[in-house]
Amino acid sequence: MELDQALVDAAIELLEKHFPGEEGIAAAMYTEDREVLTSIFFEPEWGSGMLCAETGAICGAEKLGKRIIASVCVSRQTGTSPIVILTPCGICQERLFHWGQDVEVAVPTIDDATQWEVKTLKEVQPYYWGNAFKKI
């Protein structure tokens, strides 16, 4: 298992630093050489140009020519809300599949979204459309 508490802590640290006492979303990812890349949710005041929290780290990995092996996204709704784990949205799953179906992602446990467990993209998305082309 590549995804660990240190990666979760890196995302939480960024969340608390960039969104002190307020709503926010942050992500952290490991590259194959265990470099940590972090990024935040971006929602401009005007327009609909929102970017998922994972986007910056994904672009950073691509810019550096590095493979992502693990990803975690954390959020809180208010400054006093508990920090929860977010499964990557469908768009971010699609982006992470760039590095293969074995990329690990944090997902919330069934009973407690403040707790996490590790799943591969293959486990999160067993019917990924790209599999159709790998079997041809």
Taking only the tens place, the pLDDT of each residue in 46-65 is 878 889 999 999 999 999 99
> What's the confidence (pLDDT) of residue 79?
83
**Band of pLDDT at residue 43, cut at 50, 70 and 90:** confident
- Please give the single-letter amino acid code of residue 59: C
Pairing of strands 104-108, 36-40: unpaired
Per the prediction, the chain carries an average pLDDT of 94
For residues 6-26, average pLDDT:
96
- Tell me which CATH homologous superfamily contains domain 5-134: Cytidine Deaminase, domain 2 (3.40.140.10)
Alpha helix (H) ranges present in 19-89? Answer: 55-64
> What's the confidence (pLDDT) of residue 135?
60
Beta strands in 22-113 (DSSP E): 24-31, 36-40, 68-76, 84-85, 104-108
For residues 69-89, average pLDDT:
95
Asked if residues 75 and 11 have their Cβ atoms less than 8 Å apart, the reply is no
